Amino acid sequence: MRSTARPLSGSSLSAQARYAAGVREILECWFDGRPIREAYLIVDRGTLAGAGAHSYSAGDATGGSDEAAGFKDRSPTSGSA
């Protein structure tokens, strides 16, 4: 009986091969000083670009830190009854 188990990553082997080929292309472009395909870009020179510009909105990833600091830790502390 043949196993139909998926790879641990949850992606098919052909999908993993496509991911690897894309990563290789990005790295080769980077090291050769060639532009990376727009479809592969998320950020370029500090601003959203390519697919990133269509999928994300500019913002401050740590903007909620001050608000979060105001919340009291309600987890039980060790050694207290």
pLDDT in tens, 32-48: 999 999 888 888 888 88
User: Among residues 44, 43, 46, which one has the least CA distance to residue 55?
Assistant: 43
pLDDT band at 80 (very low <50, low <70, confident <90, very high): low
pLDDT in tens, 6-17: 445 688 889 889
State the amino acid at position 36 in one-letter form.
I
Longest alpha-carbon distance in the chain: 63
Which residues, at least 6 apart from 7, have a Cβ–Cβ distance to it below 8 Å?
A: 13, 16
Q: In 1-81, where does DSSP find H-type helix?
A: 13-32, 50-55, 65-69
pTM: 0.56
